[in-house]
Structure 1
Amino acid sequence: MERGGTHPDPDADPGARRLTIAVRTAFVLLLGGAIARLLTHGPADGARTGWVLALFLVFGALCLFGRLGAPGPRYGERPTARHLLWLGTVLTLWLVLLTLEPSATWCTMPLLFTGLHQLPVRLAVPLAAVVVALVVVSEVRVSTGDFNPNLVLAPVALGTVATAVLVHGRQLAVRQRRLIDDLTRTRDDLAATEHYAGALAERQRLSAEIHDTLAQSLSSQQMLLQAAQRHWRTAPDAALAHVRDAADTADRALAEVRRFVGDLTPLDLAENSLVQALRGLAERSGTPGPAVEFRLDTAPGAPSPVPGRVEAALLRVTQQALANAREHSGAERVVITLTCLEDVVTVDIADDGDGFDARRPARVSRASGRGQGLPGMRRRAQRAGGALTVESAPGEGAVVSMSVPLVADGPRRQAP
């Protein structure tokens, strides 16, 4: 097995394996031709012919099988001392044969491919030039009669072609390696980006769920307990009712958290329809705080039921809007309106509170967590395939609306 870093492994690449077989077959044929010429046109001295034949056989065996013990360098590595020793031995034997038997020049072309192709270009090109020069000298030395220009031009032309193929192959291999490295880095960067995006999306989801369940529940409990504290001495029955409501709120929050950990449907929707869940939310949110009214507007032919993830988003947005109205607006009355048409479902949460400038983005306070509500509601609406709109002005209350277009097979996906 060859280990040349810029050439495919013959055992793994069918094309490279076929090329290796072709080069070795050509080498065997040319080596056989050189031996045949030696036996038919060689010197009359049988002893000299015998040891030249032995040198040819050793040379052939070393070229064909010597690399098994002296593999070529990997890509980007220097050739090992063992490989250089093998290559030097092959070239020395070839040089001796070239001196003794001119037919050894026929092995030059396969030698260039089988011996020099794994060396760095800066070493392979000078060695190829030396080999070609030796071939020219050998051909001129044994020539007879008038000078034949082909004795010089043919080896130079063939050596130039072989060297050009060698250099071009190495350049292609380098570009291929760089392309593979770039693709590998791009794949790793893409995987890291997707992992980060997934982690960020999950973090936003967790943040929204915690904000819409635990944070709102704790806020409601705080308001109920503060109301109980105010009425503890003057109206103990009312105070006790507030404490009971706070305990019920804590129980529901605990159940919500458990379902949230299991990534399940909100508790209200697990037990009721969306209409029942919104109506129950309005009834529970009335004390203490603004009075809450629920209205239902359903057109004939409206889809029923609404897809589960859309129901969950509508419920969570309504919970958040109610929490904002109760905590920040100073409203006395809030109206929740669920409108179901043939192609869209909408929930509107309108209050008569202080209002605010809806054109200015809310500022997020890291200390208090304020300002998280509207961005979180927008993200939740987008994930459900809908959109969130807010209409408000200072002193004029606020209306928060979430609409989700519906199609036959579910909500229509909208661009974020």
Structure 2
Amino acid sequence: MMDFPFPPTLKLLRWAIHGTFAVLLAIAVAGAAHEGRATVATCGVLLGVLYAAGIVIEGRLPRFGGPAHLLLGRIWLLIVTLGWAALALNSQLFVWLAFPLFFAYLHVLPLMVALPGVAVLSVAAIATAGWHAGGVSAPQVIGPSIGAAVATLMGLVYKALYSESEQRRLLIDDLVRTRGMLMQAEADTARLAERERLAREIHDTLAQGMSSIILLLRAARRDLATRPGDAEQRIAEAEHAAQDNLEEARNFVRALAPPALQHSSLTAALRRISASAAAGTPTQVRFEMSGTPVPLSADYDLALLRIAQGALGNVSRHAQAAHATVTLTYLDDMIVLDIVDDGCGFVPAQAPAETASPGYGLRTMHDRARALGGSLTIESAPGEGTAVAATLPLPEGAGR
């Protein structure tokens, strides 16, 4: 059974009206039976069954207020009115059933039709009562008139409350839909952010590691015939790099810190990746540290490590440099990471688009710096090398 979109007050009012009809009908049927008019009493019971059937059917219709609902309701109201008229003409006891019918008219019919209908029903009740009494008296006119006026006022209040309830229901539906859309948007945003995180991690870890492995294996192949000892060393370094890469993959899937930071400081991790970045290339990479190290959060350590890995990966793949230097500088209120090489350089303004694969490393380095309130500066020119500087403000309480 469907739930009506009414607040409890409107439901109570509806059932009060139905209860009034039932009480008045029971009194009329009992009076007719007491007078020995079994046929009239039986017809009264049938009218009650018809009224109750309309209420039950109304509650089971699939679309409350739809065209089928209104059509069936108006047919039901016409049959109930005709049944009331027949009973009222046979017994004065049924005349007062017109009062709950006033509410039915105002509920089922449009207001422009319901008000004339209530007026006609009131006149019919007055005329029927006068016909049974042999003449119309003031109480017979005043009673139905007051009942019609009260029913009209209550019906208008009922319609106003229903309209407000319907507007509130529509507003709640809109809010629920909007909340669902927001939840979907948040889920999409989280999914995109996770994809972005995975893309950054894959680029800064797995891709860089695979590049190192490829360079080491190429160097080993070159030395295999003439210098087998060096080739064996390159293969061992490639195996070690592959093991580290595998550990990186397992850790970022588990969202843990990279292996380079799990058992050592940021300075030691930068020193190791500086040494491994030059493996299999003619570039000599040197690491330097300036200032007094201060404890940093895992976000700072990870961002600086990934920026260094990305910059050194670009040096090994593109710079063709003879020397490169990684410098970590601790200042009073900031920390600066510089990666400088003497390679072929490039024009930063003409770097690949951010969506292109070659330029993805630069974009992710910028994103990592901005995420911590810092900045990334790139200075380069053809034939003059490249300088990458990441500047991060120290968190509150981390400075000296």
TM-score by length of 2: 0.79
Matches within 5 A, 1:2-401: 3=2, 5=4, 7-8=5-6, 14-24=8-18, 26-27=20-21, 46-47=35-36, 59=47, 63=51, 67-68=55-56, 71=59, 73=61, 74-77=63-66, 78-79=68-69, 87-100=77-90, 104=94, 106-113=96-103, 117=107, 119=108, 122=110, 126=113, 129-140=116-127, 142=130, 144=136, 157-158=149-150, 160-287=152-279, 288-299=281-292, 303-304=294-295, 306-341=296-331, 343-360=333-350, 362-363=352-353, 369-383=357-371, 385-395=372-382, 396-401=384-389
Moved more, 176-185 or 264-273: 176-185
How far, CA to CA, are the matches of 1:145 and 1:116 in structure 2?
27
Unaligned residue ranges in structure 1 (runs of 5+)? 412-416
How far, CA to CA, are the matches of 1:88 and 1:409 in structure 2?
83
CA drift at 1:276: 0.8
**Deviations 1:329-382, CA, capped at 9 Å, x for gaps:** 23222222223345433322222333333345632575xx21110112223334
**Deviations 1:199-255, CA, capped at 9 Å, x for gaps:** 111111111111112211121122223333333444443333333322222221122
1:250 partner letter: A
How far, CA to CA, are the matches of 1:113 and 1:227 in structure 2?
95
2:69 partner letter: P
How far, CA to CA, are the matches of 2:139 and 2:248 in structure 1?
101
**Deviations 1:134-153, CA, capped at 9 Å, x for gaps:** 22233256263699996897
Residue 321 of structure 2 contacts residue 342 of structure 2 at CA under 8 Å; is this kept in 1?
yes
2:362 partner letter: L
Residue 380 of structure 2 contacts residue 387 of structure 2 at CA under 8 Å; is this kept in 1?
no
- Evaluate the alpha carbon distance shift between residue 139 and residue 114 of structure 1 in structure 2; reply closer, same or farther with a 3 A threshold: closer
How far, CA to CA, are the matches of 2:94 and 2:395 in structure 1?
82
How far, CA to CA, are the matches of 2:282 and 2:139 in structure 1?
115
How far, CA to CA, are the matches of 2:398 and 2:51 in structure 1?
71
Residue 271 of structure 2 contacts residue 287 of structure 2 at CA under 8 Å; is this kept in 1?
yes
Residue 72 of structure 1 contacts residue 80 of structure 1 at CA under 8 Å; is this kept in 2?
no
2:268 partner letter: Q
CA drift at 1:156: 6.2
Other structure's SS at 1:372 match:
helix
Other structure's SS at 1:355 match:
coil
Residue 220 of structure 1 contacts residue 246 of structure 1 at CA under 8 Å; is this kept in 2?
yes
CA drift at 1:168: 3.3
How far, CA to CA, are the matches of 1:361 and 1:174 in structure 2?
59
CA drift at 1:268: 0.7
1:190 partner letter: L
How far, CA to CA, are the matches of 2:367 and 2:234 in structure 1?
34
CA drift at 1:170: 4.6
How far, CA to CA, are the matches of 1:356 and 1:344 in structure 2?
28
- Evaluate the alpha carbon distance shift between residue 278 and residue 22 of structure 1 in structure 2; reply closer, same or farther with a 3 A threshold: same
CA drift at 1:105: 5.2
How far, CA to CA, are the matches of 1:372 and 1:75 in structure 2?
57
Unaligned residue ranges in structure 2 (runs of 5+)? none
How far, CA to CA, are the matches of 1:18 and 1:160 in structure 2?
18
CA drift at 1:402: 2.8
How far, CA to CA, are the matches of 2:315 and 2:347 in structure 1?
15
Aligned to 1:405: 393
CA drift at 1:59: 4.9
How far, CA to CA, are the matches of 2:45 and 2:338 in structure 1?
95
- Evaluate the alpha carbon distance shift between residue 132 and residue 228 of structure 1 in structure 2; reply closer, same or farther with a 3 A threshold: same
- Evaluate the alpha carbon distance shift between residue 251 and residue 46 of structure 1 in structure 2; reply closer, same or farther with a 3 A threshold: closer
- Evaluate the alpha carbon distance shift between residue 166 and residue 98 of structure 1 in structure 2; reply closer, same or farther with a 3 A threshold: farther
User: Which is richer in helix?
Assistant: 2
Aligned to 1:414: none
How far, CA to CA, are the matches of 1:336 and 1:15 in structure 2?
75
How far, CA to CA, are the matches of 2:261 and 2:236 in structure 1?
23
Q: Report sequence identity in percent.
A: 30
How far, CA to CA, are the matches of 1:339 and 1:351 in structure 2?
17
How far, CA to CA, are the matches of 2:246 and 2:376 in structure 1?
31
